[in-house]
Chains A and B, each alone.
Chain A
């Protein structure tokens, strides 16, 4: 359990580090996440995939397993 959280903490930390580095070094080699999402959103299928990932994330964390009026 602890190792799982540790791996997730390292993964999220790496993502934040990437974003921070991309914002601090404003050139093409380090695209920020907004750059990535903007590039993907230009294409129809890219928008579908992004919406599906958002839907999956929201469903998984907020909807899955819940009943009407949040009864479990």
Chain B
């Protein structure tokens, strides 16, 4: 169960509870409720709230969204506005990395009690994944899509 993050360990905590309540009361007689709350209840509750927020965000109906998202009909393929796309991606990646930073600091440092080295590895690893792989990857996919669109459009 160590391979799972604190937010995904609910099943493991359930296992501990089923095995005689070691998560509820430790061998030393100390109540383990604070740990259970920090490591299991808060992350899972957060995931539940996020899921509910996502479902609420979809209110308004599928058809209305499809009508809004429908691109205006025009002749031939359009050229990709690379500058606008790059700006859009950089803003998304920077903001997303900020949210990722908040997740790591709140759930792994404040609630999980991880050390500074772990946090540093998380931040460098996240930066590498987001800006070294994710961002260029999306640009490459957009370029391939643009090339294919031009080839089929001409």
Contacts and interface: CB of A to CB of B under 8 A. Distances in A.
Main secondary structure of the interface of B (DSSP, over half): helix
Contact of B58 (A36, A54, A66): A36
A26 to B, nearest CB: 8
Contacts of A52: 96-100, 102-103
Interface in B73-93: 91-93
Contacts of A70: none
B65 A54 contact: no
A51 B65 contact: no
A18 to B, nearest CB: 10
A55 B128 contact: no
Interface string A32-69: 00011011100111111111101110111011111000
A contact face: mostly helix, strand, loop, or mixed: helix
Interface stretch (B11-19, B31-39, B142-150): B11-19
Contact of A48 (B5, B18, B95, B129): B95
A51 B122 contact: no
Interface in B1-23: 1, 4-5, 10-12, 14-15, 18
A59 B63 contact: no
A4 B128 contact: no
Contacts, number: 108
A60 B5 contact: yes
Interface size, B (range) = 35 or more
A10 to B, nearest CB: 10
B57 A36 contact: yes
Contact of A54 (B11, B62, B134): B134
Interface of B: 1, 4-5, 10-12, 14-15, 18, 50, 54-55, 57-58, 60-63, 65, 69, 91-93, 95-100, 102-104, 121-122, 125-126, 128-130, 134
